Every structure is written in C-alpha cells, then in structure tokens.
Structure 1
Amino acid sequence: MFPRNVYTFLDEETGFWSGRSTPPVYNPNQGVGELLWQVLGRAPWKIAQISADTGVRVTYQELLLRSVRVAQNLGSMGIEAGDLVTLVARNSEKIAPVVFGCLMAGVPVNTLDPSFHREDFAHMFGTTKPVAVLCEGDLVEEVEAAFEMSEISPQLIVFGPRINGFARVDDLLVETGSEEHYVPARIEDPANQLAIVLCSSGTTGKSKGVCLSHGLCIANMAAVWKCRESDRVLCLSSLYWISGIGTLLTATLAGATRVITTDRFSAEMMIDIIEQYRVTVIFFPPSHALAILNEPTVGMADFSSLRLVLCGGGPTSADLKRSFEMYLSRGKFVVVYGLSELGGAGMMSEVAYKDGSVGVLTNGVEAKLVDDEDNLVEIGQEGELHIRARFVFMEYFGNPDETAEMLDADGWLHTGDIARVDEDGLFYIVDRKKDIIKYGGYQISPTEIETVILKMSGVAAVCVTGIPVPGHDLPVALVIRAPESGVTEDEIEQQVERSMVDFKRLRGGVFFVTAFPMTPSGKILRRKCREIAVELYSEASEG
C-alpha cells in the first residue's frame, strides 16, 4: 500500500508535506524528571538495566531510589534548579541515576563524549559555563586542562575512586533518609525550559550546543524507538548523541530493559551481546551495520530475538538494508533520518520504503523542499529540506547568529540536506548541501558517486569529496579495500566513467586508505577526509 494520504499528506495549497497528527505518547506539558519519577515506580521489581560488562542488574525501584538520592544530594553540593552540569562519561551503571536525578532536580545536563580532546572540552565548557562537571577518572587531566583553557572553575565530580580530593559520583548516591518524601522540581514551562544540551555532530565544524526543552524530550524522542515493556534495548552511542540520550529516556519511559556496556563498538562484541541478552531493539549507524555484515561469524549469529533494527546517522543503502534483513528471521530493518535539533526522527521507513529512501515523515512533522531562492521545488526535484514540528530545539547555546541561520521565524529547521520527495510521499536524502562538489558550473553529489563505487567487488568503504582548485572542485575518492582485494585506482575511475556523466568523473583521482576519521558514533568526518584528500592530492601532484 502506498503511504500517501495514509501516513503522509500533501497540502496542495501550501505545498507542505506532513506526517500523521497522532498525539505524543506522553503528555509533554510536564518536566522530564516529573515523568520519570512517576514511571520508575510503576513496575518496581522489573529489570531496568543490565550491564554487559559486569552482569549487574538494576530494578526500576533501585533506579528510582538512586535517582532521587542524586537529586537530593545535588542540593547539598550547592547545585540548584537551573544550574547546568556537564557529563563526560561512558555508558556505566551510574549514568542513568545521575541523568535522571539531575532532571528531577531541574538541573539541565550537557552531555559530551569521553573521546573528546581537551580543546573540544574547552570549547564546550567555554560555551555552556557549567557549575559542575562529572567525568571519568581517567579524563581528569584532560578536563582540568580544559578548565584552564576555557577560564572556568566548576566543581569536578569523578566517577570511580577518589582523585586529588575531588568529590565522587558515589557521594551523590549516599542515603538521605528522606527519599520517600521526595517530590521532583516543578517545571513551569516545559516547552521553553532547558532539559538537555546536546552537540551538533561536528562533521562540518565546531560543535554547537543544541538546547532541547523538557517538552521536546517527552514529545519527540519516543516516536523513534517505539519501545515496548517487553523489549531489551541496545545502543552503544554515548549520551553525547541523540541516539544515546534518546535510548536512555525512551526505553525507561516504556518500562523496557536497557543493556549497557562501556566498551567501544566492535562487530564481534555487539553480536555477542545481542545473543547473550536476547536483545530485541538496536540502534546503530550504517558503518556498524556494515561491520557486522563483514564479521566472519555473522552467518552463525543468532539474531532471532531482534524485532526492530534502527539504522541512522548516515546514508543507508538499499543493499545494506537487504543484506542485513537476510539475517533477521522476524525483525524489521528501519532506516531513520533525524537530527539533534529535532530531538528525534523526522522520517522513518517503518511503514513504507522504496530503495534509497528514508521512508515517510513521522508523526507531527512537516517538511518542504526549497531552492536557493527559498521557492518550493516540484515533486521529484531536488531542494534543501526544511522541517517543522510542534517542538524543535530552543537555540544553539549562546549563539544567536547560528540559531537564526538554522531556525527561521516560521519555525522551519534549515537542515542543510538536499532531498527530493516522490509522488507517494517518500523522501530521499541526496546529500549535504555543504558537501556538494561544484565542477564546471555543475553540482555533484558525493553520495551519488559513492553509491557507484560501493557496488564494485573489493570495495569495503568509500568517501568522495572535492579538491579545491581555481574555479571549481575536483571529485576525488578515498577508498578502503576489502580484505584480500586487488581493486585498482584505474578500475574505480573507469567504473565511475562508465556509470556517470562526464562532469562527475574522478578528476582528482582515487587514493587508498586504511581507515576514515570517524565520530565516536560511527559517522564519517567528511571535513577531515577532505583534508586527507587534499594532502594526498598535493603529494601526488608534486611527485
């Protein structure tokens, strides 16, 4: 069945597309902490969390008690409602009560990735000015250096053993004697009060603090994971990513069980966790899906427990989707398109899919496609994707200029993605607007060339970018060979030449690399790849 007029709708008068207008799963007119406080007490003996590292299981009653203690003890440390704290930690057992306790106390949380360097920490510390930073013990030196660089002096609270006299996260978990009388802070204006500060992905420049309200977190995140109480949910993203914080909140609100680990992703490890804990829902980027498919033992893996495989954070090919579905006996592989500024997914392929699409708009989301003059483009034509919803991000923290560039006066998010929509209301993400290669007056989509190259035997991964030369950009491909592959530069160049029009030829050449610079969640850092390509091209030209 085609989704148009069932799951997605076109307003002929305005030219805007929209998803269904189903109300949010939870009432967004309350604080996230208030909602968590209620939900955690509903099924006290149910398992909320399992650590794949230690096997330790935590019930919902235990999680509620620990969260309340964190909320109460924050006050004894001088941290009050409205103060902002920064969290730099891996997915350990104590992450959930810390985040939930902060939200119950009305304390916004900025989540940063533990893999950051001191320069990255300093940039965000200087932006958000936290009153306290909670970090892993092995990151204290980097964090202290970042304090000095950003000229701030917040409290430092450490996960693990006491270091240099700093307070410990365990200090937040001590008994208060008044837990049963606790009531969370009242959030008076959930649509406009800050709950979470995420970061823009950093794939195109310095990270920006994406401010998400309580109302947004409640209304938008649950639409993605669609968790059930019976689910066991796995997502390896740190809380730095919308997928990480989204999993933590929505799986908990649904009464599901989260499976966590502090380990970095490996295909073998993820397969082991899925099998051992009978995981039912996973969320990962395409690079992780590909790694699992290339794992030698995948043919023997037991994925029979999986009912929902969510894949987002980068282009997801039809071949990747089909290949993974071959290993799913009863599960569904769903392509997800989302962004931090929306606090969730704008499009999903759960109810409708065609090769290369990202499905249809999710509930309550509107979209339009415009040209460079902000005029609507026709169905089937490419344009910049603008998205609008009841709740979108509040602002980029302390950055009104960037906020105005991203969010216009009518509430539209200017995604910077080039997309098209077909007659049936399915959307296709063509490329990032800023990643477009311009050659001879033509605009070239890197993804289009990458798709051609990825079809070649012997190619494991590819990133196409542009080499800036006077007047235009030269398309160049960075390629990772598959194991034991002998594919050559000439073969790749000839494949592109045979498959595409002349102006899309790889005039900058082909360079083989062993790995791409990646974000912690598995996205290719295209700006870093561009720097590598420029260097390799310069060396080849000089040689």
Structure 2
Amino acid sequence: MSIERPWLAHYPEGVPAQIDVDEFPSIPSVLESAIRTYRDRPAFSNMGKAITYGELDTLSSHFAAYLLGELGLKKGDRVAIMLPNCLQHPVATFGILRAGLTVVNTNPMYTARELKHQLVDSGTSVVLVLDNFGDVVEKVLADTQVRKVITTGLGDMLGFPKGPVVNFVLKHLKKMVPEYHIDGAIRFRDALSAGSKHKLPSVNINPEDTAFLQYTGGTTGVAKGAMLTHRNLVANMQQAAAWIGTVIRYGEETIITALPLYHIFALTANNLVFMKFGGKNVLITNPRDMPGFVKELKRQPFTAITGVNTLFNGLLNTPGFDEIDFSPLRMTLGGGMAVQRAVADRWQKVTGVTLVEAYGLTETSPAACINPMDLVEYNGAIGLPIPSTDACIKDESGRMVGAGEVGELCIKGPQVMKGYWQRPEETAKAIDADGWLHTGDMARMDEQGFFYIVDRKKDMILVSGFNVYPNEIEDVIAMMPGVLEVAAVGVPDEKAGEAVKVVIVKKDPGLTEDMVKAHARENLTGYKQPKIIEFRDELPKTNVGKILRRELRD
C-alpha cells in the first residue's frame, strides 16, 4: 500500500527528504573521520578534565588492542559496560566497536538480579565496571559466562592530583565504594597499558554487524536486547544530523550530556551526532546533584543540551539556574518521555530557546520523529518523521488510517533494529511482514504530517524517560511470601512524569508498606521501585481472571 508523506511539505528549509546511509560503513569510520578533521579539538570532558579527538583515538585503539590481543576476543563477542558518564565510557565504547565486538550497555544502578539476567541473556564475556558497583558484579559472576572483569575508579582518568583525590573522597569520606573482591580482575588503566603493546589489527566491520545490544523491557516484563547494527546507528546519526544541521555548526559545538550514555538517547543524540559535528560532550556524572550540575553549567559555556522533562524541570527549579549565560545556547532537545507544556514554556522564558520535543524508541536507535528546529514555541506534537523515515497510524486490523484518526504508531526506516537478540517470536510481534515496527503507542497524525501521542497501548510505565514494565515489578513483589496478589500501574507524578504504584492483596496480615519497600530496594533499580503502595481486599479482574490494570489506573 502506498503511503502519503504530508510531512515532507513542512520540513524546515535545508532538511533533505533522504539521507546518505552509505556515507559511513560503520561507527568506527565516523570516529576516524572526526579524528582526521578535529584531532586537536576536545571530544569529551568530565569533572574539568578533557580529552581531544586525538587522545580518544589513541586510548580507544589501546582498549581495542587489549580486548583482541590480550583477551583473544573474537568478532561479535559481547563486552558489557557498567559505568555512569565518565571519560572511561566513550573510550571503552569506541574501543569495543573498533575491535569488531558488540557493546552491551548496562545500567550501573542495576541490582544483582537485573544484572545477572542481562549478562546471562547476552552471553557477555567481559565486563567493565566502576568500583562503586563492583560488589554487584561479584555477586553474580559465578552464574554467568563472564571470563574477565575490568575495574575502574571514577577518578582514574582525571589526572593528578584530581583523580586520586576523587577516588579517596568517594571511598573513604562518602563511603560510596563498597568492599569487593574479584579474582583476576584488571584495572582499566592497566588494560590500556597492556593494549598499547599490541598493534590493532585491521578488523572488517560490516554495516549489518550488531554494534549494540541495547536492553529494553518487553510487555513480557523480561528485558530483551534490541540488536542495533552499525548501519542502524549510522543511519540515525545521519538523520538527526541532517535535521539539526540547520542550527548546528561544525567544529563549534559544546553539548551537555547529563542523560546516561548507556541510554539510547544520549548514546546517539549526544555521543554519535555531535562526534560527526566535531563537538565536545560535557559528561555530567551525577545530574541528580542539581546544585552541582548548575555550578558546572555556569563554568562551561554550552551550545546544546538534551534531556528528559524531569531534568529540565529540575534545572528550572534549582537556585542559580536562571543566572546562567544562555547566549551561546542554540538547541534544546527533549525526548525519552512527554515534555510538559508548563516546563517547555518556562524553559523558553528562562533560556530564550525553544524546547524541541523528539520521539524515539530503543528499537529505532532511537529517533523517529523530531519537531522542526525553527519551532517558535512548544506545540504538543512529537514532530515530523525525520529524513528516510516513514510513519503511519494503523488500526486494530492493521489497516492504515487517515489524518485525525487514532491508532497505533508504526515506524519504518534504516534506523529500525535488526530484531531482538535470540527472540524471533518477539521480533515477529514487533516488526510486521511489511517491515513496520509497531511502537505500542497510540497516536494520531494531523493534515500537515505532525504526529501526536494520545496514549500508550501497552501498560508500560514511563519514569523520567525510563521504561518500567508492570510484569517485572509484579514478579518481584510476588516473590514476598506475604503477598497473595499484586498489580503494578503508572500514576501521574509531577517530577518523574509517572511513578510506580503497586496494589497488593495480602496473604499475611502482618505485611507492611516498609517491608514491601525494603524488598523492592533489594531487587529493583531506583526508578522501578514503587513510590505508592496500596493494600486492598481484592483486585479488579476480567471474567477470565486477568487483572484490569486500567481500572486501577483510573
């Protein structure tokens, strides 16, 4: 069936309908191009220490040479990164990719249960972990195929005297580094040093090779690895670069990267897109420390920032934010969760720059729709499909519906994942026979081709831009012997957009809210933990006994 593309008539001037997917065969070729052009420009900075594109070249090739030469990894082997935003993150990411291996991005806040699932499911061979989370890796190691652990301290790449001071403060004063012991572990710096003794062999990287296994929850509640190829990510980088290229200048950008690099949004929008532009990524390790974050923003003139609604809202409510010099700022991009009009309006008033909303999914590497960069003010839409991307609305029977009608948003383009790792049935459910990815989001399109999210088809809960799957929360709470039945739903939350609420039917009358919260803390990352706990005598169900989450929400 042919598709109408009303959005093309409303593209901003200078944005092409199609991008050149084949300009770069792989992510390392994008990096190498940036190194040739911007060798002496800063590529990444963290806590006041910067590394240039030339230094990134040397360090990442040493890490690649270590993985291949010392550890003998073979093309396609999986290497997990368990780090917050710090200089080690891009060095390791590009090192793994240059070695022809696959990056498994891991949330460093994972509990042992969550981490074990991801390491086992992906068949990860090597893990790079920050000391602060080494004890979690130690707990699960014996149950995985991991054969080497590389450890690092937050200060390890900050130079002298800052690095040792940061490590000392974290361990001894803030007590943020628990004791752990892993046999045969090697320090990241020692791995780089060992790698420097090997010549990096030339590795043949195919555009269809899997660059990242990017884990995302499923309606089944079990996190699945979306296989994102080099072509997927290069395509999305090209698409986003063509879109924002009307306001972004080569070799002149500084982007604030407060969203974690292990999240698909920052991985592509900040790390890859701004590498193409020869930009500098300012890595914020702990954006939750809002006063510290604002201090950093005052020190560092910046031209671009990406974030989720909660981040922008938090900044706007932090004293001193309105005193920052916003004159260099050209771009603010919001995604990961719905941007609220009140936040967008206030952002524009304080900074003088429109907060442009974008929409994407892990499965689309992530960008699918972005609002025009010349948008005068917030419009409530998720934007127009970006170059080389088709979008449509399908009804329950899979038929495309016209403008104004509500149905499921479906996406097609070179950024759509290869599929879910070792889950062909799940892949077939997500991508139909015609190649359309079904997003699970209910939306409508207007006459001009702008798309609007109406509701989510799935019961997924969106906390500060992170997907939380009710099934996973329910499985964890149901592990408690005092719980008879449990249902998890999302409820509106002023700060996070949505928060997790659990409704429990007790088996043990002695079960308390505190007991549930303590159990959740042990088994669930912070953003997945229930904020509201309610006890009831029974849960609403269908005649076949399925719990009616919608009723609990309403």
The TM-score with structure 1 as length reference comes to: 0.75
Contact 1:289–1:324, Cα closer than 8 Å, also in 2: yes
CA distance in 2, matches of 1:385, 1:340: 15
1:92 aligns to what? 86
Alpha carbons 1:284, 1:310 under 8 Å: kept: yes
Amino acid at match of 1:244: A
Report what 1:235 is aligned to: 257
What per-residue deviation string (whole Å, max 9, x for no partner) do you get for residues 53-106 of structure 1? 2x1121111111111111112122222322111111111112212111111110
Q: Which residue of 1 aligns with 2:505?
A: none
1:221 lines up with 2:237 in the alignment: yes
Counterpart among 48, 60, 63 of residue 67 in structure 1? 60
Give the deviation of 1:393 after TM superposition. Answer: 0.5
Q: Find the partner of 1:405 among 426, 429, 435.
A: 429
Q: Residue 363 of structure 1 aligns with which residue?
A: 387
Query: What is the rounded CA distance, in whole Å, between the counterparts of 1:524 and 1:73 in structure 2?
Result: 35
Structure 1 counterpart SS, 2:444: strand
Question: 1:116 and 2:138 equivalent?
Answer: no
Q: Which residue of 1 aligns with 2:44?
A: 49
Task: Say if 2:360 is the partner of 1:338.
Answer: yes
Compared CA separation, residues 535 and 365, structure 1 to 2 (3 A):
farther
Q: Contact between 2:65 and 2:196, CA under 8 Å: does it hold in 1?
A: no
Deviation string 1:390-439 (CA, Å, 9 cap, x unpaired) is 23101111111111111122111100000001111111011110239xxx
CA contact (8 A) 2:254 2:282 kept: yes
SS at match of 2:355: strand
Q: Cα RMSD over matched residues? A: 3.6
For the residue of structure 2 that corresponds to 1:42, the secondary structure is: helix
Sort the Cα spacing of 1:176 and 1:316 in 2 relative to 1 into closer, same or farther, 3 A.
closer
Counterpart check, 1:374 vs 2:368: no
Within a 5 Å distance, the mapping from 1:68-467 to structure 2 comes to 68-75=61-68, 76-148=70-142, 150-160=143-153, 164-174=183-193, 182=200, 184-187=202-205, 189-190=206-207, 192-200=208-216, 205-224=221-240, 226=244, 228-246=250-268, 247-329=270-352, 331-351=353-373, 355-435=379-459
- Secondary structure of the 1:174 match is helix
Whether contact under 8 Å (1:112, 1:239) holds in the other structure is: no
Tell me, what secondary structure is at the counterpart of 1:434?
A: coil
Aligned counterparts of 1:309 and 1:379: Cα–Cα separation in 2: 29
Query: Residue deviations 1:193-228, cap 9 Å, x none?
Result: 111111115798232111100111111134336454
What amino acid sits opposite 2:59 in the alignment?
R
Q: 1:476 to 1:218 in 2, by over 3 A?
A: closer
Q: Report the equivalent of 1:27.
A: 23
Q: Deviations over 1:3-55 (max 9, x none)?
A: 8442469xxxxxxxxx9532247714x1212331332232221111221x2x1
Q: Give the distance between the partners of 2:405 and 2:534, measured in 1 at CA.
A: 32
Q: Distance in 1 between matches of 2:491 and 2:360?
A: 26
Cα displacement string for residues 98-142 of structure 1 (whole angstroms, at most 9, x for unaligned residues): 111111110111110100001111111111111111111222221
Change (3 A) 1:232 1:370: same
Q: Which amino acid aligns with 1:68?
A: S
Query: Aligned letter for 1:237?
Result: L
Residue pair 1:133, 1:155 contacting (<8 A) in 2 also: yes
Task: Work out the percentage of aligned pairs sharing the same amino acid.
Answer: 26
- CA 1:267–1:302: 2 relative to 1, 3 Å: farther
Q: How many Å separate the matches in 2 of 1:94 and 1:44?
A: 19
When residues 421 and 49 of structure 1 are mapped into structure 2, their CA distance, relative to the original with a 3 A threshold, is same
Q: What CA distance in whole angstroms lies between the structure 2 residues aligned with 1:418 and 1:165?
A: 50
User: What is the match of residue 51 of structure 2?
Assistant: 58
Distance in 2 separating the partners of 1:405 and 1:475: 23
Task: Determine the structure 1 residue equivalent to 2:544.
Answer: none
The letter for the 2-side match of 1:99 is T
Q: Distance in 2 between matches of 1:342 and 1:240?
A: 15
Could you say if the C-alpha distance between residues 66 and 230 of structure 1 is closer, same or farther in structure 2, counting changes exceeding 3 Å?
same
1:401 is paired with a residue whose SS is: helix
* One-letter identity of the residue aligned with 2:9: V
SS of 1:101's equivalent?
A: helix
Distance in 1 between residues matched to 2:22 and 2:526, nearest whole Å = 31
Contact 2:257 2:284 (8 Å CA) reproduced: no
**CA 1:20/1:535 → structure 2, altered by over 3 Å: closer, same or farther?**
farther
Whole-angstrom CA distance in 2 between matches of 1:481 and 1:95: 28
Cα separation, 2, equivalents of 1:277 and 1:328: 15
Match of 1:6, SS state, is: helix
Is 1:37–1:104's contact at 8 Å kept on the other side of the alignment? no
Match in the other structure for 1:6: 9
- Mark the CA change 1:202 to 1:311 in structure 2 (over 3 Å): closer, same or farther: farther
| Normalised TM-score (structure 2) | 0.73
Structure 1 SS opposite 2:66: helix
SS at match of 1:90: coil
Task: Give distance in 2, aligned partners of 1:73 and 1:429.
Answer: 46
Distance 1:6 1:74, change over 3 A: same
Who is 2:32 aligned against?
37
Aligned-pair CA distance for 1:286: 0.6
CA drift of 1:371 comes to 1.3
The secondary structure found in structure 2 opposite 1:326 is helix
* Structure-2 change in CA distance of 1:267 and 1:141 (3 Å): closer
Q: Secondary structure at the match of 1:143?
A: helix
Q: State the alpha-carbon separation in 1 of the partners of residues 537 and 357 from structure 2.
A: 35
Q: Compared with structure 1, are the counterparts of its residues 535 and 290 closer, same or farther at alpha carbon in structure 2 (3 Å cutoff)? A: farther
Separation in 2, partners of 1:49, 1:474: 40
Given that residues 336 and 349 in structure 1 are in contact (C-alpha distance below 8 angstroms), is that contact kept between their aligned partners in structure 2? Answer: yes
Letter in 1 for 2:133: L
Distance 1:182 1:212, change over 3 A: same
Figure out how many residues of one structure are paired with residues of the other and give that number. Answer: 452
Q: For residue 345 of structure 1, what is the amino acid of its counterpart?
A: A
* CA deviation profile, 1:426-469 (whole Å, cap 9, x unmatched): 11011110239xxxxxxxxx99xxxxxxxxxxxxxxx9x9xx9x
Assess, with a 3 A threshold, how the Cα gap between structure 1 residues 480 and 219 changes in structure 2: closer, same or farther: closer
Where structure 2 has 5 or more consecutive residues not aligned to the other structure, the ranges are 157-180, 463-467, 475-486, 497-519, 540-551
**Structure 2 Cα separation of the partners of residues 475 and 238 of structure 1:** 25
Closer, same or farther: CA 372–169 of 1 in aligned 2, 3 Å: same
Residues 62 and 196 in structure 2, CA contact (< 8 A), matched pair in contact too: no
Unaligned runs of 5+ in 1: 10-18, 437-445, 448-462, 483-516
